[in-house]
């Protein structure tokens, strides 16, 4: 039978094999997938952070789950223990036991043998974001957190507040949380909280009751044409929220402010008081100060200009004031009291790979951070400088060729904030190099801007250089969305 395929990078629309008796809309799929749980769902790339979480949710609901991955991991082991069948290869015979539904990730190419085999069957085949949107439809009160920066941390804060408030949410997150024992928590309530990824506009397939927009900046130049393109996508995301729902948005971000018109949902704003009219925000952080030793903030929380309580954070940086405001604002709409939110934030110690202290060796601290956009780099280095008297070594691994090329000047400016930058090779992720951008060019740009950058492509060589040059009292930050954290592990392990 002829297959209707739209695959490859960013071709993430729902597709079916052509059959006149089938509807290709979400209502049909919702009924198809959830009319009973006696279905077999196959995940191509089941070991990814999001895919594994979705697989775990379906396993908990009683579905038969199988899938493929390249290599075993703690994530795949956990799924196998819960009953999933996993193949550690991509072969068409993996799905000879014909599933009822196939789910794939954006990293899967159109020539994937499992995908090609699945297309020969008369079954629905959908992308990861479509499945996430379908699962969200099961929950009347779903919260989706979007933004160029801060999604994982804010989602984690919201999850902590909801748990502290006894809401028993299902949680699906893009980072590892110690307090839920991984990336996914299965709840038994009407509440669901997840990140909303803007890449390839996948967040437009979600079904949020509360949509949070933390910030909007230009990113993902391999998909978005320009800033207006990405702003328009975020506006569409806000317009997904129903009239009785809420859009939580930071109006200190100029790009976020520009999309506020033509939104039918209730709009809740937040920001930091800069000696201006605090009534311009629904929720305000007033008199925010950073602890001189920890770098963690405290502030007076206002609602519509009136003080509610003093909020103290246990995660460093002024950017986390914004994240906490978004979390409080979202949870307030669900009935969570401010006292519960306050206590939850006191317990929140951060997320894996978000300014995470990995260890100390010879009085040299090693921090790992996921920052991979110039704005995130600035925020991380600003936080690092606040309570550090020694030199700051930034070990940066650029993420994707297109981002590095398009934002080259901004990267060079942001990275100049470190005393020394060591650049590893670009982490390609989903891309293939055409030879016009590399880390050496970025190092040269940083040095021309007055910074101090060194290009060292190999992780072991970076570690060797640090052992010979870092001094007691210095701070090493491994930074990037790839596997640069391995350098810090090598350094600490001797």
Alpha carbon separation from 354 to 114, 295, 319, 350 (Å, rounded): 35, 14, 12, 7
The encoded tokens of residue 80 equal 């196998």
Residue of 148, 152, 269, 383 with catalytic role: 152
As a whole number of angstroms, the distance between CA 237 and CA 11 comes to 18
Residue of 195, 201, 217, 356 with catalytic role: 195
As a whole number of angstroms, the distance between CA 203 and CA 223 comes to 14
As a whole number of angstroms, the distance between CA 478 and CA 484 comes to 6
As separate numbers, helices (DSSP H) first and strands (DSSP E) second, the chain gives: 16, 22
CA 304: distance to chain centroid? 30
As a whole number of angstroms, the distance between CA 375 and CA 352 comes to 19
351: number of CA atoms within 13 Å, CB side?
Answer: 23
- In the numeric block, the tokens 């739209």 are attached to 6
For residue 273, what are the contacts with CB-CB under 8 A and spacing of at least 6? 284, 285, 286, 287, 288, 302
As a whole number of angstroms, the distance between CA 141 and CA 86 comes to 32
Count the Cβ atoms, other than its own, within 10 Å of residue 134. Answer: 22
Best CA proximity match to 67, nearest among 131, 11, 135, 24: 131
Count the Cβ atoms, other than its own, within 10 Å of residue 26. Answer: 16
Q: Where are the beta strands (DSSP E) in 317-429?
A: 356-361, 364-369, 392-396, 420-423
The answer to whether 152 is a known catalytic residue is yes
Instruction: Please calculate the CA angle 395-175-379 and round it to the nearest 5 degrees.
Output: 45
For residue 363, what are the contacts with CB-CB under 8 A and spacing of at least 6? 472, 473
Give the pairing type, strands 296-303 and 283-290.
antiparallel
* Residues paired with residue 475 on neighbouring β-strands, in sequence order: 365, 392
Residue of 39, 56, 69, 151 with catalytic role: 151
Catalytic residues: 151-152, 195
């Amino acid at each position: 039978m002829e297959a209707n395929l739209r695959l490859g990078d960013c071709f993430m629309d729902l597709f079916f094999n052509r059959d006149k008796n089938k509807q290709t809309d979400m209502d049909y799929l919702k009924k198809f997938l959830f009319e009973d749980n006696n279905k077999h769902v196959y995940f191509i790339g089941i070991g990814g952070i999001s895919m594994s979480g979705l697989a775990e949710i379906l396993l908990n609901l009683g579905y038969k789950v199988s899938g493929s991955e390249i290599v075993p991991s703690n994530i795949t082991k956990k799924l196998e223990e819960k009953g999933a069948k996993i193949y550690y290869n991509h072969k068409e015979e993996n799905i000879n036991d014909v599933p009822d539904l196939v789910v794939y990730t954006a990293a899967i190419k159109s020539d994937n043998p499992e995908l090609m085999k699945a297309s020969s069957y008369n079954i629905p085949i959908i992308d990861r974001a479509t499945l996430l949107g379908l699962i969200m439809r099961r929950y009347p009160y779903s919260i989706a957190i979007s933004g160029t920066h801060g999604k994982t941390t804010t989602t984690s804060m919201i999850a902590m507040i909801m748990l502290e408030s006894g809401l028993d949410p299902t949680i699906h997150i893009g980072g590892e949380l110690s307090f839920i024992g991984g990336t996914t928590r299965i709840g038994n309530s009407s509440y669901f909280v997840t990140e909303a990824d803007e890449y390839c506009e996948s967040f437009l397939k979600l079904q949020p009751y509360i949509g949070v927009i933390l910030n909007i900046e230009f990113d993902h130049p391999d998909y978005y044409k320009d800033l207006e393109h990405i702003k328009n996508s975020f506006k569409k995301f806000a317009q997904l929220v129903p009239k009785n729902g809420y859009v939580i948005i930071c109006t200190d971000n100029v790009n976020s402010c520009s999309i506020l018109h033509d939104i039918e949902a209730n709009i809740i704003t937040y920001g930091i008081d800069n000696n201006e009219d605090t009534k311009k925000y629904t929720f305000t952080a007033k008199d925010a100060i950073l602890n001189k030793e920890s770098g963690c903030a405290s502030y007076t929380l206002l609602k519509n200009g009136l003080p509610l309580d003093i909020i103290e954070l246990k995660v460093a940086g002024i950017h986390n004031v914004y994240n906490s405001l978004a979390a409080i604002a979202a949870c307030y709409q669900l009935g969570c009291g401010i006292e519960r939110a306050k206590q939850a934030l006191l317990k929140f110690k951060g997320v894996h790979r978000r300014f995470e202290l990995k260890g100390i060796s010879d009085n040299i601290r090693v921090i790992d951070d996921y920052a991979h956009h110039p704005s995130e780099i600035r925020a991380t280095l600003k936080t690092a400088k606040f309570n550090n008297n020694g030199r700051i070594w930034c070990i940066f691994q650029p993420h994707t060729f297109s981002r590095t090329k398009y934002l080259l000047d901004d990267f060079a400016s942001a990275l100049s904030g470190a005393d020394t930058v060591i650049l590893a090779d670009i982490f390609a992720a989903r891309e293939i190099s055409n030879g016009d951008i590399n880390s050496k060019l970025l190092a040269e740009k940083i040095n021309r801007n007055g910074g101090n950058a060194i290009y060292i492509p190999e992780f072991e060589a970076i570690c060797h250089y640090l052992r010979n040059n870092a001094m007691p009292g210095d701070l090493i930050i491994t930074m990037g969305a790839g596997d640069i954290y391995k350098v810090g592990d090598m350094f600490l392990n001797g």
